[in-house]
Amino acid sequence: MLNVENLSAWYGEAQALRGVNLQVLPGQLVTLVGRNGAGKTTMLRSIIGLHRQTHGRVMLDGADISNWSPDRRARAGLGWVPDDRGIYATLSVEENLLLPPTVGEHLWSIEHIYGTFPVLKDRRKHSGAKLSGGEQQMLAIARVLRMGARVLLLDEPTEGLAPLLVQQIGAILQQIKEGGIAILLVEQNLRFATTVADKHYLLAQGEIVETLDNATMIAREGELLQHLGV
């Protein structure tokens, strides 16, 4: 579904990514883990096309989208959920869901959204500003599914959330990937990552230094926590 080939990125003369290769298959959840400043968010911004000082290829379903604009990439099925969630504070939950255009054949109906995110159905008339952090995160994920995303790019979805909400987000991500959607997850919480992911890429100083299956990640959790400084 998503292939990144030899991707490098710069901020001016400073190189942030160095020849990164990764792959996410349909129905697979892959994490990108690393210390702060390792290049994780730059990776997501480069894939969605918001960071343009790049070299390499981004392939979506076999098509080279490296030179496409961000909106064209979104219309092709890439869905980006940034760490600030991007909720319209003055609009209701339902208005946030219905405002963006829908694309492709894979969009989720409002009924499907509310079945997967029952808390959003309960809060559908509430403004975005009145939602908790966890509810805002669910709304941000639901909105890109409503648009028709086939690949989700998630930046730190559990940051600042209480443990119960983290569990709820994890259960929702499991449902989403079981539906065949590919998920690339930037995550600092390794314990959470190992409950949802199939594969992990370890990023250090802009390079992929290891690719780990989930069993290996769990076995080496203590070592990796120390390496990541978390």
Query: CB of 155 within 8 A of CB of 163?
Result: no
CB atoms < 10 A from the CB of 226, how many?
A: 9
- Domains of the chain: which residue ranges? 2-228
Residue 104 pLDDT > 90: no
Q: Which CATH superfamily is domain 2-228 in?
A: P-loop containing nucleotide triphosphate hydrolases (3.40.50.300)
Name the band, by pLDDT with cuts 50, 70 and 90, for residue 229: low
Q: Measure the CA angle with vertex 45, ends 24 and 105; round to 5°.
A: 55
Mind listing the pLDDT tens digit for each residue in 72-89?
Answer: 999 899 999 988 888 999
Helix (H) or strand (E) holding 23: strand 14-24
Residue 113 pLDDT > 90: yes
- Looking at residue 96, its pLDDT comes to 94
Residue 178 buriedness (CB in 10 A; 0-12 / 13-18 / 19+): exposed
Residue 130 pLDDT > 70: yes
DSSP code, position 148:
T
Average confidence score pLDDT of the chain: 90
Distance from C-alpha of 96 to C-alpha of 45, rounded to nearest angstrom? 22
- pTM of the model as a whole: 0.91
Mind listing the pLDDT tens digit for each residue in 27-56?
Answer: 999 999 888 888 899 999 999 999 888 899
